[in-house]
Amino acid sequence: MREKELIVYKDFGEDGALLADMVWLMEHYGTGEEGIQKESSLLYECMHGLLEMAGSHGFSGNLWHCYLTNLLVNNENSYSRACEIRGAVEGTINEAVLHDIAIFKEFFDYDFTDMMDKLEAPAFSMALSYEGNMQESKVYNTRIRDRICTLAVRFREDGTPEEMKATLTEFYKEYGVGKFGLHKAFRIAHKEGETVIEPILNIAHVKLSDLVGYETAKKKLIDNTEAFVLGKKANNCLLYGDAGTGKSSSIKAIANAYYSQGLRIIEVYKHQFQDLNDVIGQIKNRNYKFIIYMDDLSFEDFEIEYKYLKAVIEGGLEKKPANVLIYATSNRRHLVREKFSDKRELDDDLHNNDTVQEKLSLVSRFGVTIYFGAPDKAQFQNIVKTLALRYGVTMPEEELLAEANKWELYHGGLSGRTAQQFIDYLLGRM
């Protein structure tokens, strides 16, 4: 086995430890160097690792193949990053990758029968034909988990390294590579003093069609986002208006709708604005389009975090990358709290107009502003009827609307959120 001869596909981190152990066994089992008992113990330790992976990742079938496939789809290198979203590339790098894939094909084609016999470890066959219980993966959403298992089967069926390389390149084009390729949404965390972008494993599968009404607002958001993912000029977006009107749901729906076109979303909180330059530095040279998402954005007049945001959006010396946009939601149109005293001529501030302009300068950096207003009574009732039909609530319309009117009086007023909560309440009673 030639894992030390790998050129491009190296540096698998902690995940590569199992590969090193398995390759050592392939090369040395039965030679008498360690003894059957120690070699058998190492094989069972590897089997333990494969089954633990099956539990955390939700894999089934040939776990050895799933493990190898997972290494390939997560290894960010010069080739995989070049192919993500774009597909095949030209140049000598293809020869180096084909050299590595030929080695991986040897791993895929390896027959463990003799090893299991000599090490008296027939139980290892369970790892080669593993029936999972289809539990939810702690690492991937179900769609990606199933795609990796399917890709492992494709690799096994590929007759040559060239076919296997083409299959892998196709995957990179469709999904990408690593965490950005395999996940839709992310959040910021700090580990060992570094800013880290972590995947959000389960994002609500909201569609824009789930949001009843607001057709003009949705079209404005869709048009801007489509221009962005197509590489055209697009603007930062501010979705503002009344609470519970679907602003945040619209952003989640956008992330779901354009994931297949390379759109990714990173959620950032107000206290993390000072990390924005680090975040942008990590994503600016990738082939994806990134929306940095700020939910419920607003500032009191004593909070200064908005100054970080202003500099990042527009105003710093470094140009904002073309693959990054800012989308924010807020109940405030102007984001920073304003007071009447800001506009009084006799205010303590000598240049009070400067104070006003400073507070308005943030919102002016959002080229597209979209208003989501609370529905009136008729619109609220239409939302209720549409949701009741969608979820199969069987109740006479007159009774349904009467109950909905009573519900909104005690539970937050007229809004799409209130309507959804009312339908959830009815479903819980059914």
φ and ψ at residue 187, rounded to 5 degrees: -135, 170
pLDDT of residue 376: 87
Query: Comparing C-alpha atoms, which of 46, 184, 48 is closest to residue 112?
Result: 46
**Under CATH, which number does the domain 197-372 receive?**
3.40.50.300
The answer to whether the Cα torsion of 244, 245, 248, 253 is positive or negative is positive
pLDDT of residue 69: 97
197: enclosing H helix or E strand: strand 194-200
Provide CB contacts within 8 A for 404, sequence distance 6+.
Answer: 380, 381, 384, 419, 422
Q: At what angle do helices 397-410 and 377-391 cross, to 10 degrees?
A: 120
φ and ψ at residue 212, rounded to 5 degrees: -80, 130
Give the span between the Cα atoms of 52 and 50, in whole angstroms: 5
Question: Kind of pairing, strands 185-191 and 263-267?
Answer: parallel
Direct distance between the N- and C-terminal alpha carbons of the chain, in angstroms, rounded to an integer: 61
pLDDT of residue 185: 93
Question: Tens digit of pLDDT per residue, the chain (430 long)?
Answer: 577 889 999 889 888 999 999 999 998 888 766 678 889 999 999 999 999 999 999 999 999 999 999 999 999 999 999 999 889 999 999 999 999 999 999 999 999 999 999 999 999 999 999 997 766 677 887 888 889 999 999 999 999 999 999 999 999 999 899 999 999 999 999 888 899 999 988 777 888 888 888 889 999 999 999 999 999 999 999 998 888 888 899 999 999 999 989 999 999 988 888 888 899 999 999 999 999 999 888 776 656 666 677 777 765 556 678 999 999 898 776 655 555 455 554 455 544 455 445 556 667 778 899 998 888 888 888 888 888 888 888 888 889 889 888 898 888 788 888 988 898 988 888 7
Ranges assigned E (strand) in 286-354: 289-294, 324-330
DSSP secondary structure of 55-105: HHH---B-HHHHHHHHHHHH---HHHHHHTTT----STHHHHHHHHHHHHH
pLDDT of residue 26: 92
Give the span between the Cα atoms of 173 and 261, in whole angstroms: 10
pLDDT of residue 344: 52
pLDDT of residue 142: 81
pTM: 0.82
Torsion of CA 305, 307, 308, 313, to 10 degrees: 130
pLDDT of residue 357: 54
Provide CB contacts within 8 A for 236, sequence distance 6+.
Answer: 313, 325, 326, 327, 328, 365, 366, 367, 368
Q: Which one-letter DSSP state was computed for residue 299? A: B
Give the span between the Cα atoms of 10 and 65, in whole angstroms: 18
Q: Is 233 exposed, middle or buried (0-12, 13-18, 19+ CB in 10 A)?
A: exposed
For the chain, the structural domain boundaries read: 3-179, 197-372, 377-429
